Amino acid sequence: MTPPILTGAEAGRRMVLLAELRTALATAGIRSTLARTHRLVLRGSPGPCEPSGLTDPALYIDAPAGHVVATTDGVTFRLSSGAQYPAATPPATVAAISGSGGAELPDATTGACP
């Protein structure tokens, strides 16, 4: 499945949330890189093609336990591990990524601990 195309405003809103997470990670001494993604569809043959445009931005994190990719839908941070945390609380997500208290953090979708 190809990722959906986002409006400029939605992509910008998600970038801001990921930038806030990046700032919280930097405070904890964890390096990360924020990347915008853009799907480019080359039209080489006649017929319908999927549109080009901005897709989900991603935050690539060099976590203590290994490489993690974070995305957001504006409500939760989704980690490549499958864990989800509230986007409203970047420090809680940092605690989970760094391993300092992550076992006590509830999953944003189920309320269960990861």
Concatenating the DSSP letter of every residue in 52-65 gives PEEEEEEEEEEETT
Whether 2 is covered by a domain: the verdict is no
Amino acid 50: pLDDT: 78
Whether 45 is covered by a domain: the verdict is no
Note the pTM of the prediction, 2 decimals: 0.80
Whether 47 is covered by a domain: the verdict is no
Show pLDDT as tens, one digit a residue, over the chain (114 residues).
677 899 999 999 999 999 999 999 999 999 999 999 888 888 776 777 778 899 999 999 999 888 999 999 999 999 998 999 999 999 999 999 988 654 333 344 444 333
Whether 20 is covered by a domain: the verdict is yes
Q: Could you tell me where the beta strands, DSSP code E, fall in 4-65?
A: 32-39, 53-63
Whether 87 is covered by a domain: the verdict is yes
Whether 48 is covered by a domain: the verdict is no
Amino acid 100: pLDDT: 67
Whether 105 is covered by a domain: the verdict is no
Amino acid 107: pLDDT: 40
Domain total of the chain: 1
Domain that holds residue 63: 8-38+54-100
Q: Which residues of 12-24 are buried (b: 16+ CB within 10 A; e: fewer)?
A: eebbebbebbbeb
Whether 17 is covered by a domain: the verdict is yes
